[in-house]
Amino acid sequence: MSEESGKPAGASKLNVVVLKKLLVVAVLMFGFGYGLVPVYKQICELTGVNILTTKDDNVQPVGNSQIDKSREVTIEFDANTQGPWRFRPTVSSMKVHPGEMSTVVYEVVNKQSYKMDAQAIPSFAPQQSAAFFKKVECFCFKQQTLGPNEARQMPVVFFVDPALPKDVKTITLSYTFFEVGGQPKTAGQADAKPAGKEG
């Protein structure tokens, strides 16, 4: 019995020793990890790797490194409607550098007293420029639902691919905004419908 009671005491001492060693190792590892943070920052600053903040406010973000500052392209904006809308861009044109992210806003007003669903379809001139005009965000990606007499501003976020042929100096972006489906018309609206078809 004494041997058996002695074993747990020896095992207990061994466990305490191991526990103390593990605690020392854990504290050393924590201290080492904590001390690495300023060292890591200094190394990154010296080598220029993984810099999260820049000391010079004039330094361009990495995402803008593809901007071709040597060229300017004029983007002209146009709007057409098929239906009872007021639809237009807020600016008629802008100059951009290829690779530069830009935003234009189109305004639309539903001139009817009922809700309407609509879709915008883009077209480009010259036609080959369509492959180089990259839309990041556009109201043309999905149908738009406008409430009675609702006015809305809709942005287009885009950039021109730097691979655009050098001879293309102007791109015209034109949207046609048209009603999807249809709503029941009153007698007055039914009379106006043929005129809309002719336009």
CB 157 within 8 A of CB 140: no
Decide the pairing of beta strands 73-82 and 93-96.
antiparallel
pLDDT number for residue 180: 86
State the first-to-last Cα distance of the chain, in angstroms, to the nearest integer: 108
Domain ranges within the chain, ordered by starting residue: 1-57, 64-180
Segment among 2-11, 53-62, 152-161 with least mean pLDDT: 53-62
Bond prior to 126 in cis (omega within 30° of 0): yes
Specify the amino acid at residue 169: K
Counting beta carbons within 10 angstroms of the beta carbon of residue 173, is it exposed (0 to 12), middle (13 to 18) or buried (19 or more)?
Answer: buried
pTM of the entire predicted model: 0.57
In the predicted structure, residue 1 carries a pLDDT above the cut 50: no
Give 81's strand partners.
177
Domain 64-180, what architecture? Sandwich (2.60)
CB 177 within 8 A of CB 108: yes
CA distance 99 to 31: 46
**Tokens 């060292």 -> residue:** 39
Provide the pLDDT confidence category of residue 76 given band limits of 50, 70 and 90. Answer: very high
Q: For 95-150, what is each residue's pLDDT tens digit? A: 999 999 999 999 999 999 999 999 999 999 999 999 999 999 999 999 999 999 99
